[in-house]
Amino acid sequence: MRRIIAEDPDWSLVVVPCLSNLCLQSIVRNFEEKPIFRALTPVQKAFVQERLSTSVPLHVTANLIGDGVYWKRCCEQRWDLCDVSLYGNSWKQMFFERQMEHIIELFIPDVTESSAVLGMVPLCKNYVKRLEISQLLPPIKEPQKEEDEYGSELASENEYDGPSMDHFDFNILLNKLTNLEELHLVYSVKQCGMNFEWEMFEMTDRDCESLAKALKSCKTLKLLRLHQSHIEDKKCRMLVKCLLDHPSLRELDFSHNLIGDKGARAIGKLLTRNKLETLNMCDNDIRGPGAKAIAHALSNNSTLVSLNLRLNRLRDEGGEAIGKALLNNNSLRHLHLGGNEVTRPTAIALSKVLVQNNTLKSINLSCNNLGVDGGRALEEAMSHNTGITECDLRLTEVDEQSVSFINQVVWTNQSLEQKRRAQESKAK
């Protein structure tokens, strides 16, 4: 049948897509077999990123498609909650960090192939900067063998002598992640339910040894957080030994463990050898001698800016030592001594620090029995101080009048500080 365009009301040029569009659609369809991307113009790249299937294997896309829409689509498809601001505003970083975390969190020793992790390394090592591991699984337990008359015979024949590791072995991974800056670890099992055993919430000696080695090999690490993992003095010392002189470590968080004075001494040594800026030892078992070791390190040209010793047992022996150390040159700005059974002598030691106004900006003494006299000493000191902009004296048995005076000074200084900042930013 003859057809004349002019007579055909359905005819429209739009129906014929551009050849270039057809080509792009074909590229999108056949991306897995023939990934053409680098040669495209930015507009064409955007077209492909918008339409490419998120199930194209990672070994094709990982090092080819840059950060942006494609990775945003991949993330939003996998996870309901996606806050890209937590990942340096990089969707690609989010995708690979969460992917890696997921693999490690589901890793079962002697069951999962280590290639499951190592296979990801070449794909993700350029994008993974932080790993936040919220669980580490133990090996599957062999069922207890029946004790029978052949028991000993069987045991001697059986080559199997326990699992080859207790949790995922970071030693195979960390030296390969060449951009890793932050590592948050907790040795625990989520939703263990009725299978609960204390062992599930413990880092073993063997874990500790391999982790320590791994940390030493990770030269880019800036922040290490290893909390709630049953670390006592021995493990703390093992870790510190491998972290001494670490080139980039700036922040260390061993909160909610079982570290005592011997571990604290090791930490003191770490402070003099590394350029640590933030130390969090909250909720451990540090007493006077341990605090003295940390104080000694503080007074020796330490670079520490923030020190958190909340919920330990420093008592006045430790509190006074910290106070004395702060009289020497140091860089500390934030100090937390909450819940440490410190009393009047510590308050007096700290008031000497406050009078001689140095760099201290915030101090938290809550939940200590400072008493009325301790409070008076602090009040007197604060009348000379112009640096403190945060001071917590709740539950310290300090007289209400002292507290309200101290708060007034703090608020004045706060508002003056804010004004100064506002002026500074205006000047810029």
Ligand X SMILES: *[C@@H]1O[C@H](CO)[C@@H](O)[C@H](O)[C@H]1NC(C)=O
Q: Which is nearer to ligand X, 77 or 412 (CB)?
A: 412
Amino acid identity of residue 416, one-letter, is L
Q: Does 329 bind ligand X (CB under 6 A)?
A: yes
Positions 268 through 297 that interact with ligand X (CB under 6 A):
272
Segment near ligand X (CB under 6 A); pick from 75-83, 115-123, 186-194, 406-414:
406-414
Q: For residues 285 and 339, is the Cβ–Cβ distance under 8 A?
A: no
Letters for 345-384 (x = contact with ligand X by CB under 6 A, - = none) are: -----------xx------x-x------------------
Q: Which of 44, 90, 171, 300 binds ligand X (CB under 6 A)?
A: 300
Looking only at Cα atoms, what is the longest distance across the chain? 108
Binding flag, residue 54, ligand X (CB under 6 A): no
> Burial letters for 76-89: b for 16+ Cβ neighbours within 10 Å, e otherwise?
eeeeeebeeeebee
Question: CB of 83 within 8 A of CB of 60?
Answer: no
The footprint of ligand X on residues 194-233 (CB under 6 A) is none
d(CA 267, CA 408): 36
Tell whether residue 409 is a contact of ligand X (CB under 6 A).
yes
CB 228, min distance to ligand X, A: 16
Check: CB of residue 269 under 8 Å from CB of residue 297: yes
Of 212, 264, 193, 277, nearest to 233 by C-alpha is 264
CB atoms closer than 10 angstroms to residue 205: 11
How remote is the C-alpha of 25 from its chain's centroid? Answer: 42
Does residue 386 bind ligand X (CB under 6 A)? yes
Looking at the Cβ atoms of 34 and 384, the one nearer to ligand X is 384
Q: Would you count residue 328 as binding ligand X (CB under 6 A)?
A: yes
The minimum distance between CB 249 and ligand X, in angstroms, equals 15
Report the alpha-carbon distance of residue 61 to residue 59 in Å, rounded. Answer: 6
Nearest CB to ligand X, comparing residues 109 and 290: 290
Shortest distance, position 356 Cβ to ligand X, whole Å: 5
Residue 186: name the closest of 171, 173, 168 by CA. 168
Residues that bind ligand X (CB under 6 A): 272, 300-301, 310, 328-329, 338, 356-357, 364, 366, 386, 390, 392, 409, 412-413, 416
